[in-house]
Structure 1
Amino acid sequence: MAFKMLTENLSESGTKLQEYIKNSAEYYKLRLFKHAMKLSTSLINMLVLGGIFMLFLMFFSFGIAMWLGRILDSMLFGFFIVAGVYLLVFLLILFFGKKHIDKAILSKFSELVVEDIEKEEHMFDDDVSFEDFNEKKLPNENEIP
């Protein structure tokens, strides 16, 4: 009789282990999907906002170039001055700002991942410990028929 109970408990443990593995795989698939969606929505937002800002910058640059052209009596000089300013900004970013931009991007995306991990950790912060869980879920020796 004890052997029969042991085999039943072992087979039940095997099915529970299979369910646990299946649920864990599904959980990690959902977690991966969640992180991929956050990344893609962040990238899409940056592209949309960046595109709108580029349109603004383009029209603003044309306006400044034309205004400088009228002041200097040569549209060509106005456009060359604006292009020179952009070249100067590009070179400054290339030589001095690349590390800062990389750091800002990494910190932003790391912040998204860390926030998710902290939220997941706090989901499991309740008053029940692992030992309490085991004591409540597993039958003791007196309960086995």
Structure 2
Amino acid sequence: MESDATTNENLNLYEKAENYTKTSLELLKLKAVSAAADVLSTLTSKIAVGAVVAFFTLFLNIGISLWIGKVLGEYYYGFFIIALFYLIVAIVMLKTQHKIIKTPIGNMIISSILKETKKDETKADLN
């Protein structure tokens, strides 16, 4: 009789361990989905704002090019000057891309993911 009780306890313990593992995996999946959704939503909103800024910049550049061209006597001079300006900006960005582009974006993604983890740890500590 005692061996039946021990067997039942072992089965019950095994079922609890199995349920705990399944729950932990599900929680891990949900945390990953939450972090990915947060990163993607942030990125999407930044892309939307970037598109509006890009259109503004495009039309501003066309206006400045036409104005410079009118001042210099030929419209295409203004476009050449603006193109030269952007070539200089591109060279500067190429030389400093790691510092001014890659690192801040990487840090934003990492902090967003870690923010979710910190929230979860704080909730666990409170419980």
Would you call these one fold, judging by a TM-score over 0.5?
Answer: yes
Structure of higher CA gyration radius? 1
User: Residues 2, 126 of structure 1: CA spacing in aligned structure 2 closer, same or farther, 3 A cutoff?
Assistant: farther
1-structure distance, mates of 2:82, 2:61: 7
Corresponding position of 1:41: 41
Q: Which amino acid aligns with 2:36?
A: A
Q: How many residues of Structure 1 are paired with residues of Structure 2 in the alignment?
A: 127
Where 1:124 maps in the other structure, the secondary structure is helix
1:2-13 correspondence to structure 2 within 5 Å: 2-13=2-13
Return the letter of the residue paired with 1:100: I
Distance 2:49 2:88 in 1: 24
Q: CA deviation at 1:35?
A: 1.7
The equivalent of 2:71 in structure 1 is: 71
Residue ranges of structure 2 left out of the alignment (5+ in a row): none
The runs of at least 4 aligned residues of structure 1 exceeding 2 Å deviation read: 1-5, 96-100
Relative to the length of structure 1, the TM-score reads: 0.81
**In 2, Cα distance between equivalents of 1:71 and 1:48:** 35
Q: Partner residue of 1:100?
A: 100
Q: Secondary structure at the match of 2:126?
A: coil
CA root-mean-square deviation: 1.5
Identity %: 27
| Cα distance in structure 1, aligned partners of 2:125 and 2:39 | 27
- TM-score (norm: length of structure 2): 0.91
Distance 1:58 1:33, change over 3 A: same
**Is the deviation greater in 57-66 or in 111-120?**
111-120
Q: Tell me the distance in 1 between the aligned counterparts of 2:4 and 2:98.
A: 69
Distance 2:35 2:79 in 1: 44
- Tell me which protein shows more helix as a share of its residues: 2
Q: Which runs of 5+ in 1 are unaligned?
A: 128-145
Alignment correspondent of 1:27 = 27
- Matched with 1:53 is 53
CA distance in 2 between partners of 1:102 and 1:21 (Å): 37
1:115 shift after superposition: 1.0
Report the alpha carbon displacement of residue 38 of structure 1 after superposing the two structures with TM. 1.4
